[in-house]
Amino acid sequence: MGRFPIAAARRSFSVGFLDPRPFDAVPKKTLDRAVLFYREQASPRCMSMVYTQGGFLVDPLPCWTDGDGKVVQKANGCLSLQAPNEDWLRNPPADRPVGWSGEQVGIQRAGPSAWEVTGLFRLQHIPTLGGSPASPGYILIGEPLFTRNLSADDNTRCTSQLSDFRLSVTYTVPPIVAEYEVRPPR
């Protein structure tokens, strides 16, 4: 596992793996697959602050619940993966979350705590004719993506603890073919 920069905000967690130069240095290659893996589990503690006539009271609450407030195990966790719409590695946002467009270009779920990012990785690391590279890294955003999807009666909670990030990249290097063949003299 390599080092990676992280930008965390209230609802999002941005991950960018450092030093893609070993992959970028291979001149001719075919990208087979790129998958982002991580470990997600319910946070150990979630608290709610309640105001009473005597002051504030902190209530411990379960961290993963459904809309009725009942504890649930979330097989796929609580996160959605998005592509950043800005170069947050070169220009880190100090006091705001990293921007994202909501379009999941080249992203699909590969299983619990795993996202297929082959298309996005290709846009980020393999230049195309006339195309511009995608912004670096990945953004994990808590569900639901938008608070407008909630009602005043909704008690959904989804606060996760994340660890063990890995980006697995597999690619094929074609066999070396001689550009010309030297024949021995007769």
Per-residue pLDDT of the chain (186 residues; tens, 9 = 90+): 334 444 444 445 556 665 677 788 888 888 899 899 999 998 888 776 666 777 777 777 888 888 888 888 988 888 888 888 877 777 777 777 777 776 667 789 999 899 999 888 888 887 676 666 778 888 887 766 666 666 666 777 888 888 888 888 888 888 876 666 667 777
**Residue 1, in any domain of the structure:** no
**Residue 181, in any domain of the structure:** no
**Residue 131, in any domain of the structure:** yes
**Residue 184, in any domain of the structure:** no
**Token code pair at residue 156:** 């959904």
Range of the domain at 62: 6-172
| Torsion from C-alpha of 163, 158, 112, 19, nearest 10 degrees | -40
**Residue 178, in any domain of the structure:** no
Q: Residue 17 in contact with residue 4, Cβ under 8 Å?
A: yes
Q: Residue 147 in contact with residue 126, Cβ under 8 Å?
A: no
Q: What is the pLDDT of residue 94?
A: 76
Q: Residue 85 in contact with residue 101, Cβ under 8 Å?
A: yes
Q: What amino acid occupies position 25? A: A
**Residue 71, in any domain of the structure:** yes
* Backbone torsion region of residue 13, taken as left when φ is above 0, otherwise alpha when ψ lies between -120 and 50, otherwise beta: beta
**Residue 21, in any domain of the structure:** yes
**Residue 51, in any domain of the structure:** yes
Q: How many domains does the chain have?
A: 1
Which residue bears the tokens 């001719």?
28
